[in-house]
Amino acid sequence: MSKWIELESRLKKNETIDRSVQEQINKKREHWRQALLMIIAIVITLAKNNLAFRGDNEKIYQERNGIFLSLIEMLAKFDPVMQEHIQRIQRSEIHYHYLGHKIQNELIQMLASEIKSTIVARIKEAQYFSIILDCTPDVSHEEQMSLVIRCVDVSTSLVKVEEFFLEFFKVDDKSGLELFNVLREALYTLQLDIGDIRGQGYDNGSNMKGRHKGVQKRVLEINPRVFYMPCGCHSLNLVLCDMATSCSKAIYFFRVVQCISVLFSSSTKRWEIFKDNVEGLTLKPLSQTRWESRIESVKAIRKTFQVEDMHIDAVIHQLKGLITFLEKYRETGFLEAMIEAKEVAIEMEIEPTFRERRVIHRKKHFDENVSEEVAQSAEESFRLALKQTDEAD
What is the model's pLDDT at position 363?
A: 61
3-state secondary structure of 379: helix
Distance between CA atoms of 21 and 11, rounded to whole angstroms?
A: 14
What distance lies between CA 216 and its chain's CA centroid?
Answer: 26
- 161-186 pLDDT per residue, tens: 888 888 888 888 778 888 888 888 88
- Look at residue 296 in the predicted model and tell me its pLDDT: 64
The confidence band for 96, taking pLDDT boundaries of 50, 70 and 90, is confident
192-228 pLDDT per residue, tens: 888 888 888 887 777 887 788 888 888 888 888 888 8
Domains of the chain: which residue ranges?
2-99, 118-230, 235-304, 311-392
Task: Compute the average pLDDT of residues 325-334.
Answer: 66
Among the residue ranges 156-160, 283-287, 303-307, 338-342, the one predicted with the least confidence is 303-307
What is the average per-residue pLDDT within 109-120?
88
pLDDT of residue 310: 47
- DSSP letter for each residue of 78-136: T-HHHHHHHHHHHTT--S--S-SHHHHHHHHHHHHHHHHHHHHHHHHHH--EEEEEEEE
Query: Would you identify the CATH topology of the domain 118-230?
Result: Nucleotidyltransferase; domain 5 (3.30.420)
pLDDT band at 330 (very low <50, low <70, confident <90, very high): low
